[in-house]
Structure 1
Amino acid sequence: MSTTMSNKKKGKGKKFLLALVCAGIVVFLMVAMLFFVMLSGMGTNLLQQQKSNTDLEWVLSPDGKKLIPAQYIPIYQEAGKKYGVPWPLLAAIHKVETDFSRNLSVSYTGARGHFQFQPCTWVGWSYSGCKGTLGNLPNSVDITNTALIAKHGGFGVDANGDGKADPYDIHDAVHSAARYLFSNHQKGEDWFGPKGPVWNYNHAQFYIDKVQRYTNLFASAQQSESGGATYTGGKFVWPVKGRITGVFGEWRGSHSHGGLDIAAPLGTPIYAAADGVVYLSKANPGGYGWYVGIDHGGGVVTWYGHVYQHQVIVKVGDKVKQGQKIAVVGNNGRSSGPHLHLEVHVKGQKQDPLKWLNK
């Protein structure tokens, strides 16, 4: 009898163990499927982000054509495309650092080359000789050694394929600057924002402002394709003449885009989309820079972002007519190029502006 009871217990134990194993397999498969779905969604978002980057074109301005030496432009464009950096930003830094390589003197801290890299930034700060320094290294250290750069995580790049990463070679220097800016940039982040890519290049605010001015001067952002925009028709007039560079609802890395971006040169007039009353004109810490709001009645309001305060020609309380000029296009706030950010709100909820604009 004791033997029979023991066998029954063993049988029950085996069944319990088998059930436990089966349950574990089911849980594992469910987690794997969930993980696969998450990866698929992330892949879609990344593809959308990459497409939005490729849709954006930077068009050389008359000032850019006059001021930038022509031989450098293809190099900026190549590096910008490879690393996802606006090529006019590379041109602007080149201008500010060495006046387009007209002044290649070594700085007092040892910065050198076309883009004035510190040797330790170029070769990598983990190099033993960089400890306790401002970033300079003796000339006996071969900072063009690509193996040394790879070992210490430096930003020097051998872009021309000659086996050396040379800060005095223009191809290497431009690509290295692009790589450095890219490594300090988060998706959707303002290139000129606090602790952003340009700040990491040089912490001085006057330097950041100067680079931003040249970036805006050299080129303007435009859209090469429609970016998937569809026009459903509406009663609002288009507030600015330009090209769509961002549509409502597209994924921006950490959030969904809440408006419509229309690229246009700095100073392009912005018009009221419809009759209404100006109910706000203020700075926005969320990235719009200075923006203007118009109340059209019935719970419908429009916002016009990235303008500069001194270029707004209406004030709170003003009654405006549809098509009346209210400001001009700027590049204020979190912006990678001159454009208008237009939002439509209905009773506090953001709406797709394309459903309100006429064809």
Structure 2
Amino acid sequence: MSVGSMSKEYVKKQVKKKIRRKLTQTVGIRVLIPIFLFLILSFVGLLLITVMMGQSQDVQEHNISEYSVNGGYVENPLASYSLNEIPEEFEDIYKKIADKYNVDWEILASIHRVETVFSSNTSVSSAGAIGHTQFMKCTWVGWDYGGCNGTLGNADVPKEVYTDPDKIAQYGGEGVDGNDNGKADPMELSDALSATAKKLEKDGVNSDTESAVFSYNHDSSYVSNVMEHYNAYKDNASFITAGIDDITMLGKGGGGKGMVVGDMALPLDTELFLNQMTGGIGHYSGHPGYDFSVPMRTPVYSLVDGEVIESVKDRPNYPAGRTLAQALSSDDLGNYIRIRPTNSPNLVVNYMHLNTKDNAGNLVSKGDKVKKGQHIGAVGNSGKSTAPHLHLDVLENNHYSIDSAVRWYDTLVKDYRASKVEDSDG
């Protein structure tokens, strides 16, 4: 074989080697890249699932709906009422007040439903709106009140001023003394509904319903929701029993006391406690307590008699829907309260993700003695949380683990239901 032939043969072999090497590399890359991407995506997916399913119910369905209320937001649970359902306990007061002010009772019920879910959440809105139908203090008492100048309506108006019918008349406010007790109080259901009906009638609700609702609250989504309920009520209102013993007591006391059941008290108002527990012990790895998806500023009550051993209230609070990154960068517990029960010193009750101090998230301090059912704070969205909720756990010997968690929730629910049966039998 000549040198030229050898050279050609050599070149052919080299070319074949390069082709094989190239093919090997190409196939390898095509195989490895999908595998690599799959592993990366799997890792990210698992991380997101862990974080979003954990860290205080980050992907729980929080059942929170926000509506602009005179420039701010009130957060309400989407209660278990269908579009056309109304608690029958409100039927008489709706119709009586609506008849007095010559408006449709259905529009009154619709605003009451959207604003506070039939008074299930009468806490102050983020803008400062108050009461059963969420009035700004300056709208209630009148914008001629000196303190209202230069504000958005959330002025520092003393209660003795904004509930005084003579002052309201003097300053041109919307407040009404609906039950003739000498006070016009937005936390009185009759007064709040009367003021709403009066304002709607004045704003021409009978000639242009949507326009009057928009005047009540300048937010198109709010108007749409009110009108959706209004039309459903007009078409086929369904009155259902809500189990409200006395509607005149709704909203009174600022969340004064939780219901005592045996050796404990409900940590939230009854309906929220029974219906809004969205994550129990172990619903994700390392979760030793119970999560309750309830609105911002919902009153929280002490489960037990005891002593406050820690109260942290200087950590930031966030609106609902903050980003995952914000939650991950936060302190785990947010604002919290820890109470040692008097009759069980080996236990500690922890209330986490409370509101900021400006919103009365922590009403007790270290060393305070508390009674079961005492109003100790308010729900927030602080710490590793992406929506307002209360995390409550009871730990034995202060070990923060599922194994050391005391499973008290089912017992308290059982005792509550038993107490209601005894009441009905009696």
- Pairwise TM-score range, normalised by the shorter structure: 0.3 to 0.5
Question: Normalized against structure 2, the TM-score is what?
Answer: 0.35
Q: TM-score normalised to the size of structure 1?
A: 0.41
